[in-house]
Amino acid sequence: MIENGILLIDKPAGWTSFDVVAKIRGARRAQFRSAGVTPTKRQLRVGHAGTLDPFATGLLVILLGEDTKKAEQFLKLNKTYEATIRLGQTSTTADPEGEIVAVSDRQPSSQELLTALESFIGTIQQRPPAHSAIKIDGQRAYKLARKGETVEIPLRTVTIHTLELLDYTYPNVKIRTHVSSGTYIRSLAVDIGEKLGTGGYCSRLRRTQIGEWSISEAVSVEATT
């Protein structure tokens, strides 16, 4: 039984990061009990180092035992994502889970798209989505947004190190991007849609790397139980 350590999980769509934590904690409790040991709270400590939205998939770093104290170290690391941006529509949550509204049927050219993407490379100002876990006056922004309250989240400075176009088949734009800590890909998708004048939201999102940790080293949730 590993009491301390790091697990790399490939989170499936539809699971919250807390769902993964709870599943692994439950499996660890069962493993201890099957060995005839009543686990302590310290032995059952499980946490994650950077959440993923429920609709997103990919790399989730799970910390066990004493290593849960290292979460802050992971939060500061650069990350790599692959995402699909759906042009021509917007979403109230900037992802597929919100209310979808048609905005435009104009189809930007490939050159327009490449020019727009290039304009976001470097250090930029970004406003995180209202439906996010950021705290506003001590409350999670998404909880306020779900109540219908107006949520004003301050701009933040982030860095888009690379932004690569993988495929463009209108209305879908597939990108790969390497970004600084604190960057919201949902916000990037919205901003790209606004830049093109078509509207847009992040329809798919997959995290493939956190610092030196890669999705190629990750296992499914089921493999840990």
The DSSP letter of residue 182 is T
Homologous superfamily of domain range 5-77+212-224: Pseudouridine synthase (3.30.2350.10)
Task: For residue 53, indicate whether it is catalytic.
Answer: yes
**Tens of pLDDT along 50-68?**
889 999 999 999 999 888 8
pLDDT of residue 138: 61
Q: Where are the domains of the chain?
A: 5-77+212-224, 79-210
Same fold, 5-77+212-224 and 79-210: yes
Q: Which residues contact 109 (CB under 8 A, 6 or more apart)?
A: none
**Tens of pLDDT along 155-179?**
899 999 999 999 999 999 999 999 9
| In the predicted structure, residue 73 carries a pLDDT above the cut 90 | no
Query: Which is the catalytic residue, given 53, 67, 95, 191?
Result: 53
**Tens of pLDDT along 106-135?**
999 999 999 999 999 999 999 887 666 666
Homologous superfamily of domain range 79-210: Pseudouridine synthase (3.30.2350.10)
Q: What is the mean pLDDT of residues 37-61?
A: 89
pLDDT of residue 140: 61
